[in-house]
Amino acid sequence: MAFSERVSRLKSSLIREILAAAQRPEVMSFAGGLPAESMLPKVQWADMPVALGQYGMSEGEPALREALAADARALGIDCDARQVMVVSGSQQTLDLAAKLYIDKGTEILLEAPTYLAALQIFQLFGADCITVPLQAEGPDLVAMRQRLEQHKPAFAYLIPTFQNPSAVRYSQASRDAVAALLDEFGVTLIEDEPYRELSFDGGSARPIVSGLKTASWIYTGTVSKTLLPGLRVGYLIASPDLFPHLLRLKQSADLHTNRLGQWQALQWIGTEHYREHLVTLCEFYRGRRDAFESALQTHFSDLATWNSPQGGLFFWLTLKQPLDTRTLLDAALAQDVAFMPGEPFFADPDANHGHLRLNFSHIDPARLDEGIKRLASVVRAAHLLQAA
């Protein structure tokens, strides 16, 4: 069997296996990043034009690109619709970026921890991952400068707003400093913002790309966290030097994104009813966050520390007594509890034990306390075993 060299790096996806196990209805899952079913908006399809059944443009629907560009400009991103491409979920942006930049051994700069599925696709293409530790307000800037002095990464991939998995939101000062560093060293920025709209304290900060003066950039977002993930509609906005390459790569990947989802997204983006929906959604998730934090305080105060997430979908726990949290998984699933071990979110998993990513958006509130209690008991049992 003569597969490509890259297939040797095609890892079994831990999250796939966990999510498969979490399909059993009795499982209390903190593992995925699913929206709450009750908050999926009712959508109408009756007015969709028949002509949308035909092939469309690789760039995406013109009206949707205009609406997305207007939204981005309101955030401070200097762009027009010609720089916007609709993609088949923002995961596709990572695939296109990997194709554009990564050969075997290409250095890239990532946060530690970072989004697991980004790590997977970048490593599949053979990236050599240089990492910068995340702190409460953003990346360690001293470490970042040091990395940029010592390496020449093809790009930096950052998730500055309610990061997955850490829930960190970069401060405005941190964003400005990161932009200045990337300009200084001429490093392209890929800024991934799936959670920007899910802010619980109303706070916000400008996208980092809006602060770049000379570096190239790709900004990517999605409607999956705010409307319907099943639409598979995301978007990227790129500096004009990158766009033509990304467009050809998009065309060869899947010709264009499905037009049904694009049409539905257009019914929402930039409208008053979307703004109202987002307010309701953030209130709802803030409530879930609060309930989750209460359960954590009851059962995990002695076991772990965490920062209360101001947005997004996850708590990121740091165990006071570190252990390889992947070893907890079988015991947790035996107790009908699923969670995401922290290790796969690091380019070097074995050097980064002792974190858990817990999703708070999707769990049934009636089973929340029981689930957290069982998970705590699994951690306690592992500590006892460790001590024995």
Site for a second copy in 4-63 (CB under 8 A): 4-7, 10-13, 16, 32, 34-35, 37, 40-43, 45-46, 48, 50-56, 58
Q: Min. distance of Cβ 257 from a second copy in angstroms?
A: 7
Site for a second copy in 233-272 (CB under 8 A): 233, 241, 245, 248-249, 251-261, 264
Q: Min. distance of Cβ 339 from a second copy in angstroms?
A: 18
- 156 forms beta bridges with 109, 189
SS3 117: helix
Give 170 or 217: the residue with its C-beta nearer to a second copy.
217
**What sign does the CA torsion over 362, 364, 369, 374 have?**
negative
Give 45 or 366: the residue with its C-beta nearer to a second copy.
45
Amino acid (1-letter code) at residue 311? G
Determine the distance from the C-alpha atom of residue 112 to the mean position of all C-alpha atoms in its chain, rounded to a whole number: 13
**199 makes contact with a second copy (CB under 8 A):** no
SS3 358: strand
Number of residues near a second copy (by CB under 8 A)? 75
Residue 149 token pair: 């002095």
Q: Min. distance of Cβ 288 from a second copy in angstroms?
A: 16
Site for a second copy in 93-112 (CB under 8 A): 94-95, 99-103, 106
Within 8 A by CB and 6+ apart from 151, the residues are: 107, 109, 130
Give 94 or 328: the residue with its C-beta nearer to a second copy.
94
Give 94 or 168: the residue with its C-beta nearer to a second copy.
94
- 316 forms beta bridges with 357
CA distance 24 to 112: 32
Q: Min. distance of Cβ 7 from a second copy in angstroms?
A: 6
Site for a second copy in 120-139 (CB under 8 A): 120-121, 124-125
What does 214-266 look like in DSSP terms, one character per residue? SS-EEEEEESTTTS-GGG--EEEEE-TTTHHHHHHHHHHHHSS--HHHHHHHH
